Structure 1
Amino acid sequence: MTALRAAVLDGRTGAAVLTDEDVTGALGLCALDPVGTVLATTRLDHARTSGLRSAGGELWGYAEAGELVAACWVGANLVPILPGLAGPVRDRALDAFAKLGAYRGRRCSSLVGPRDDVLDLWRRLDGVWPAARDVRPDQPSMVIDSDPPLAPDPLVRRSRPEELDAVLPACVAMFTEEVGYSPLAGSGGFYEARVRSLITQQRSFVRIEDGSVVFKAEVAAVAGGVAQVQGVWVRPDRRGEGLSEGGMAAVVQATRDEIAPLVSLYANAHNVRAVAAYRAVGFRQVGTYATVLF
């Protein structure tokens, strides 16, 4: 564990808003559960070199006897970081984060991460923060660390910058179908910039036919030897053809070869078709995520 450097926030919550000096300690906690904390680790890796302000969020911490034992990344998503905590210490950490969240107000668009941590924190914030738009309590967290048993789709490749006009509508369609509203509403420029950035980083994968995306996926978070795939989508009129299986096999192969050795994702358990497709590609469940959407 690492000594907590930031002062407790006026003694009002038991938790602290941390500083750049505390990022390395928080990353040490993340390393205890690299799959469960990859969303936070990705932002904290950025903060380690460029600072928390540049990373686009806050880092909260909870310490006992001067040692950092739990943290939260708070940006567009709030990701709790409590690996290995149990019993009264875990309860005290969650109580402290809930008090800090109540004091500072909701700034994130979702709570996401390991299920028990997310749901236990939300139980403390429910009724304090505005009502959730949706709670998704059962999202299998799956990984693959070997070559997929299925042949990769040879037509799935990395998106090219000049294909943004084809890729962006597919990303918007996926997001709207999954979350329930268009990401272009309000600060749509941010979403377009995110799609463009993933293409530029060669972490956007597509199969394009006649100028239209029929399969897509993004490697949206990379940190700690883990690459998390998000945004898997097949055009509705092409579903049931096996495009997701071959497409994901191609994404996994390219990602393991060139980005990170372990590929992860999470899905809604009720999406039986998607979970079965991921299993066919070689993914296995290692935990469970939950998401609270606002």
Structure 2
Amino acid sequence: MLTTRHGVRPLGAADLADFLALSDLDPVVNVFVDHRARSTNLEPRWLGGEVWGRYVDGRLVAACHVGANLVPVNASPDDARAFAERALGRARTVSTIVGPHEAVRAFWQVVSGTWGPPRETRWRQPHLELTAAPAVEADPRVRRTTRQDLDLLYPACVAMYTEEVGLSPEAGGGADLYRARVLQLVSRGWSFARFDGGRLVFKAEVACMSPHAAQVQGVWVAPDRRGEGLATSGMAAVADIVRREIAPTVSLYVNEWNTPARRAYEAVGFEETARFSTVMF
């Protein structure tokens, strides 16, 4: 077995079973990396990056997804520091570090002097899960979107992303790529919305899924319709469809300061199970 400093080495297709077993130790928190591993077979050409594993006594104990998103997997602070030391040996290519708070913080403490300053940091984001039927009535007007909805859906996706991230996904010529991503989610049946009077007033998407969970992203309500409960009943509808047709558990993470969103998710029945952190460049 080829190893490097601190027992860290790149993983490949031959390591898929070990990686999935590691991910299964916390399958809902790890839904993103589980989805990436299953859909790419850990092949770098499909990953658009690498997945690193850390071995102790020949056993895989932690991993780190290194693509556009850098995501620690079941990493202790010591594991995260080992991954960070490997990361310092290469130029920063990631746009976001995201994952469980303690691992992200430990990683960032090592690389911040070289990789900083970040555009924004969000240090304590509640990670939420729903494992039962929604606690409120679902909005019957929420449905899966189709390609015919794109003229209304795409501007809402751009608005949500810009509001959430502070930067338009179309910046720097990214419109075609982002539009393709929106279409991909629509074609998978992972895009949901409610339309009133010829306009989109609520939307959400599934970002990734595994046999264990589906992670929801992009929850958005038209600004002039906020405060009406559309997010609560809309998320109940999305969660109901997702649990019935995609995966048994629905997860998401939310900014700590977003009180309206947190109240809506709590009303639906989501419960906090972890804290995430995000560092954006």
Matched, 1:202 2:189: yes
What corresponds to 1:260 in structure 2? 247
TM (norm. structure 1) is 0.91
Correspondence 1:51 to 2:72: no
| Uncovered stretches (5+) of structure 2, i.e. residues with no partner | none
User: What is the CA deviation profile of residues 97-152 of structure 1, one whole-angstrom value per residue up to 9, with x for unaligned ones?
Assistant: 11111112211110111111111111111112131111101111111111112111
Report the equivalent of 2:10.
Answer: 17
Q: CA deviation at 1:184?
A: 1.0
Give the secondary-structure state (helix, strand or coil) at the position aligned to 1:103. coil
The separation in 2 between residues aligned to 1:24 and 1:211, in whole angstroms, is: 48
Shift of 1:14: 4.5
- Compute the displacement of 1:161 (Å): 1.2
Contact 2:7–2:56 (Cα < 8 Å) also in 1: no
Q: 1:66 aligns with which of 42, 58, 66?
A: 58
- Is 1:219 paired with 2:206? yes
Q: Give the secondary structure class of the aligned counterpart of 2:60.
A: strand
**RMSD after superposition:** 1.5
In structure 1, the partner of 2:81 is: 95
- Where 1:119 maps in the other structure, the secondary structure is helix
Equivalent in 221, 229, 232 of residue 242 of structure 1: 229
Q: Is the 8 A contact 1:106 1:129 kept in 2?
A: yes
1:179 aligned partner, one-letter code? V
CA distance in 2 between counterparts of 1:154 and 1:74 reads 40
Identify which of 122, 128, 145 aligns with 1:136: 122
SS of 1:106's equivalent in the other structure is coil
Structure 2 equivalent of residue 8 of structure 1: 3
TM-score, structure 2 as length reference: 0.95
- Stretches of structure 1 lacking an aligned partner (at least 5 in a row): none
Which residue type is aligned with residue 30 of structure 1? Answer: S
Partner of 2:27: 34
Task: Provide the rounded CA distance (Å) in 1 between the counterparts of 2:211 and 2:102.
Answer: 22
Post-superposition shift, 1:82?
Answer: 2.0
Distance (Å, rounded) in 2 between the aligned partners of 1:224 and 1:105: 34
What is aligned with 1:192? 179
Match of 2:273, SS state, is strand
Task: Look up the match of 1:118.
Answer: 104
Match of 1:167 in 2: 153
Residue 272 (1) aligns with residue 259 (2):
yes
Contact 1:75 1:107 in 2 (8 A): yes
Identity %: 46
